[in-house]
Amino acid sequence: MKKIGLIGGMSWESTAEYYRRLNEGVRERLGGLHSARVIVSSVDFAPIEKMQAAGDWGAAGGHLASEARALEAAGAELILIGTNTMHKVYDQVAGAVSCPVLHLGDVTSRAVRDTGLDRVGLLATRYTMEQDFYRQRLAAGGVESLIPDETDRADVQRIIYDELCVGIVSPESRERLVRIALRLIERGAQGIVLGCTELELSMQDGDVPVPVFPTTALHCQAALDAALA
C-alpha cells in the first residue's frame, strides 16, 4: 500500500472527511484491521484565505508547494490537495515534487463521463466557479460546466466560508443550495458537481433529481485506487 500525503486544513472540516473516507475505504477493500497509510499536513487556513481574497495565488502556491515537499520528504508516494479551490495552484504544487499529485478536476471529469454525462452544474467557491482553472480542466475531460448566477454564487460562497468551513451545517442553507442546484438543472445540467470539499457536509446524492458528484469522496476513491494498485 502506497503512503498518501494529504495537504489539508482548507478547511479542517473537510480534511477530517478525507481522513475518515480514506481509512474507511481501505477497511472496505482490505477488511480486518487494515487502515490507510496517510500523512496529513494541515495548514492554517486563515492566512491562505487572505491570500485568496487578495489574489495572491503565487504566495499561496508557494506555501502549498512547501507542504508538498515536506510530505514527500516524510515518505508520501502520492499527494492530494484536499480542496478544489487550491487546485488553482496545482502546477506550482505538482512541480515541487517528484511523486504524483492527483488532480481533483481530472478525477471529477472521469466520474461524470463514466456515467455517460457531459454537462454538469458546478457548485463551489466563487474562485472555482468564476475562474477558468477548474472549469477548463473539466472541459479537457469532455465535461461542460454551468455555474449559478451572481446572486446564487454569492450565496454559495457565503455558505461555504461563513458556515461550512466553521462547522455550521444548517437545514436552511442546505435548502438554499438545493434550490440553486435545481435552477442549474432547469438550465440543462445533467448532474451537479459539489466542487468544494465542504459542500458534502450539507448536500448529498438524492437531494436533487440528477446524479450528484461529491468531489471529496471521488478524490479519496481515486487515491485508494492508486495507493492499492
Active-site residue numbers? Answer: 83, 196
Distance separating alpha carbons of residues 152 and 154, to the nearest angstrom: 5
> In whole angstroms, what is the distance from residue 216 CA to residue 166 CA?
17
**What grid cell was written down for 13?**
472540516
Please name the residues in contact with 22: beta carbons below 8 A apart, sequence gap of 6 or more: 4, 6, 36, 38, 220, 223, 224
C-alpha cell at 229: 494498485
CB atoms within 10 A of CB 209: 8
DSSP E strands, 23-146: 38-42, 78-81, 119-123, 144-146
What's the CA gap between 146 and 117, in Å, rounded? 13
Mark residue 108 as left, alpha or beta (left: phi above 0; alpha: psi -120 to 50; beta: remaining): alpha
Any idea of the CA torsion for 12, 225, 204, 150, to the nearest 10 degrees?
Answer: 70
